[in-house]
Amino acid sequence: MSVTAPGAGDATVIRPTVVEVSLARLTENLRAIETVVAPAAVMPIVKANAYGHGLVEVARHLVAQGARRLGVAFLEEAVALREAGVALPILVMGGILGNQIPLFLRHGLTLTASSVDKLRQIDAAARDLGVSARVHLKIDTGMERIGVHYYNAHGLLEQAAECRHTVVEGIYSHFANADAADLASARLQLARFLDVLQWYDKHGAAPPLRHMANSGAILQLRESHLDLVRPGILLYGVYPSAEVRRTIPVRPALAWKSRVVYFKVVTPGHPVSYGSTWQSDHPVRMVTVPVGYGDGYFRALSNIARVIIRGKKYPVVGRVCMDQIMVNIEWETAYNGDEVVLLGAAGDETITCEDVAGWAGTIPYEVLTNINTRVPRLYV
């Protein structure tokens, strides 16, 4: 569910738990990336519900800010954008099934051709439909996910040159370790990709759009920027790892908030929540907040996470439930309706995506993309 509204009050009519997305922050982050990578173009990645920020609304905003193409993972994401009126080129980067190809072509989407067989299927489907397919060739330089191996890539390039109903718009690969402190692996992958690209020089042909740089490589490996870069998590204001050099200043575009819906005093010897994993040895004030693992607030955050209420951090106690959490405010004050910051800032306190990821034993990517679509997105 998405809400575009001037203030938080409009969203809380729907539900007190909301994700607030700052479109201005998104724009700032996009401009910062564009400045550093120029003259390379930027293809924003909006897969996985735009990293939890809202697929359609974020895509529309990026188009309004001058994005020339977008990247997604799956066909259904691209179709949703087409149905929402997003008309610019959309590259679908995931693997495809043969029976999906006609749907790609009917929606004017750009396919990833990850093998000779897939490329032949695409060309045949385009011939049968009387249209021209657009593809980017995928080269596996060390990820071992999808794509033709770099040492066998010439066959794919030769087949692409023979296609009569397919336009090769781009050729790309993907880094496995570009966000690490040690860039030896990333540099090896880049060298393999550049070696594949020599095929075009040997055949006197201009290469299509060359791209490989994800968020980590955008920050750390300038020689990988080539013709196009693909910022994902960096665009949303979060750095891809703790090791990566923060060479571009970005700020988080997302805040996750809820409100106090219940207040009670819990006496000693009365455990809190499922499994009775926490109890106090003295009377405490407890508040209940309507968010839980059904919203993507990890159960692993039980008895370890903190939230901000009235400018102070307080611990989440007891097991995180599907729809609710309990917070111990000791003997301090909170009222029904008070804002609870799960992720973001209030006063002098901040809870970062990295904080939540550390508490849950995961990575910031999973924190953002795990926020369920039942949480309304509010664009401010």
Cis amide prior to 249 (ω within 30 degrees): no
Catalytic (active site) residue 257: no
| φ, ψ of residue 55 in degrees (nearest 5) | -60, -60
Rg (CA), the chain: 24
Query: Which of these, 257, 181, 194, lies nearest to 220 by C-alpha position?
Result: 181
Catalytic residue, from 151, 262, 264, 274: name it: 274
CA distances from 75 to 80, 112, 182, 201, 360 (A): 9, 11, 34, 33, 31
Catalytic residue, from 47, 118, 138, 257: name it: 47
Question: What's the helix, strand, coil split of the chain in %, to 5?
Answer: 35, 25, 40
Q: Is 286 in contact with 266 (CB distance < 8 Å)?
A: yes
**Residues near 61 by beta carbon (within 8 Å), at least 6 away in sequence:** 23, 26, 27, 379
Q: How many CA atoms lie within 13 A of 331 on its CB side?
A: 3
Burial of 30 (0-12, 13-18, 19+ CB in 10 A): buried
Catalytic (active site) residue 379: no
Known catalytic residues? 47, 274
